[in-house]
Amino acid sequence: MKTRISILLVLLGFAALSARAAKDYSKHNIGYFCDVGVAFGGTFPKNNEPKALLEVFTTQGYQFSKTFSIGAGVSTYSTETINIYLQLRFNLRDINETRTHYTYISIRGGYSWSTWTGDAWGDDKGPIVDPRFGWSFYTKAVNLRWSVFAAPSFYQFHFIPKIGLAFEF
């Protein structure tokens, strides 16, 4: 199962790279978007030891204006879960001209299924709420938009503070 998750995320990453070919990323383009990223965090469950987590994710969606987008995505926490989510993102600045950086907020909400806990696949499941505050940057030399973010996530009623890096296509 972990191999299938990894293969799915790699294929979605390649799809994002192929979509990148002809766009100018100096400003947010209205239309299709994709982001691919990683986040590092930790979970602090009651009566258990803290545990470090690595999240790998991709979001596919539509940029409706220079300040609002909506998308759906899939992620995994250390290949132990499959997370399906819906993401709303608001850029905190109306981007009318080329800008090298700006801040944004987003919220992801969805559901998670474990790939290993319990007697059967998916026994450990629950909701995910992931508010994010981030900063998006444009690197002119390689025509690349990327972002860093912090997220106080709530996964199956566990608090997971995390920081991450995403590439935006």
Q: What is the CATH number of the domain that holds 123?
A: 2.40.160.20
Gap between the Cα atoms of 81 and 114, Å rounded: 4
Query: Does position 16 have pLDDT exceeding 60, yes or no?
Result: no
Gap between the Cα atoms of 159 and 44, Å rounded: 6
Whether the Cβ atoms of residue 57 and residue 74 lie closer than 8 Å to each other:
yes
Domain that residue 53 falls in: 2-168
Whether the Cβ atoms of residue 58 and residue 36 lie closer than 8 Å to each other:
yes
Amino acid at 44: F
Judging by DSSP bridges, how do beta strands 101-114 and 81-91 pair with one another? antiparallel
Q: What mean pLDDT comes out for the span 129-150? A: 89
Q: pLDDT of 46-105, one tens digit each?
A: 677 778 889 999 999 999 988 899 999 999 888 888 899 999 999 887 665 566 788 999
- Specify the pLDDT at position 62: 95
Q: Nearest CA to 151 among 160, 140, 142?
A: 160
Query: Does position 9 have pLDDT exceeding 80, yes or no?
Result: no
Amino acid at 76: T
Which residues, listed in sequence order, are joined to residue 68 by a DSSP beta bridge?
90
The total number of structural domains that make up the chain = 1
Whether the Cβ atoms of residue 94 and residue 88 lie closer than 8 Å to each other:
no
